[in-house]
Every structure is written in structure tokens, then in C-alpha cells.
Amino acid sequence: AQTVTQSQPEMSVQEAETVTLSCTYDTSENNYYLFWYKQPPSRQMILVIRQEAYKQQNATENRFSVNFQKAAKSFSLKISDSQLGDTAMYFCASLNYGGSQGNLIFGKGTKLSVKP
């Protein structure tokens, strides 16, 4: 069975600094996607960044980047120049490409607090 593990229940970072959130996953598939979703307090989950497993290059979206280590099954999220609006729950998720209609497998989440 596919699993996603986020080992950091809570983290905090000073505004303007860099923080890295960890995620490991386990899958027997070769083709899959990995995601980071952000859920601000009382708001819906929004996609932060997506990585396709067959792509070696790490995905980047503005201040957000990932360190994708396929052999180690690791997918960490780096947030540079942290802003107060980055305060949220962050969920790592995986999805198999193939027969599945697309159900995401989520980790438990990491609560990130950005402090002024």
C-alpha cells in the first residue's frame, strides 16, 4: 500500500528565513506524482507545487522548491524568504499514474508558523 509520512507535526520559522518540511513516501509504482498542499487556517487546501516522478529536475514555484530524491523516496519542501501568509498546515501527497482515477494519498501534515 502507498504511504506518505511527514515526521514533523509542527515547525516554526522567522519571517524572511528559509524552512524545509520533510516528507517520505513508499510506493511500488514507477510512475507517480508528488504534491505539496497548503491549508491556511479555516481555508481550503491549495496546491503549492507538483513533481512528476519521471522528471529528475526539482520543481520550483517562486519561493517554493522541492528536493526530490527518488531513490530515497524523499520529497522535501523548501520555503525561501518565509512570509506571514505562509502560516498554514502543509500536506505532502502522492498519486499513482495509471489505472487509478486519481486519489491522493496524504501525509498527516506539518503545521508551519511563520513568526514576525
Partner 1 sequence: EPEVTQTPSHQVTQMGQEVILRCVPISNHLYFYWYRQILGQKVEFLVSFYNNEISEKSEIFDDQFSVERPDGSNFTLKIRSTKLEDSAMYFCASSRRRGGLDEQFFGPGTRLTVL
- Asked if 33 interacts with partner 1 (CB under 8 A), we say yes
Minimal distance, residue 59 CB to partner 1, in Å: 13
Minimal distance, residue 33 CB to partner 1, in Å: 3
Q: Which residue from 88, 95, 112, 114 is in contact with partner 1, where contact means CB under 8 A?
A: 95
- DSSP characters for 12-51? EEETTS-EEE--EEE-S-SSEEEEEEEE-TTS--EEEEEE
Here the cell at position 7 is 515526521
- Asked if 97 interacts with partner 1 (CB under 8 A), we say yes
- Asked if 29 interacts with partner 1 (CB under 8 A), we say no
Q: Which residue from 21, 23, 45, 88 is in contact with partner 1, where contact means CB under 8 A?
A: 45
| Residue among 36 and 82 whose Cβ is closer to partner 1 | 36
**Closest to 75 (Cα-Cα) out of 27, 18, 45, 36:** 36
Here the cell at position 58 is 526539482
- Asked if 64 interacts with partner 1 (CB under 8 A), we say no
Vertex 92, ends 50 and 2: CA angle to 5°?
A: 100
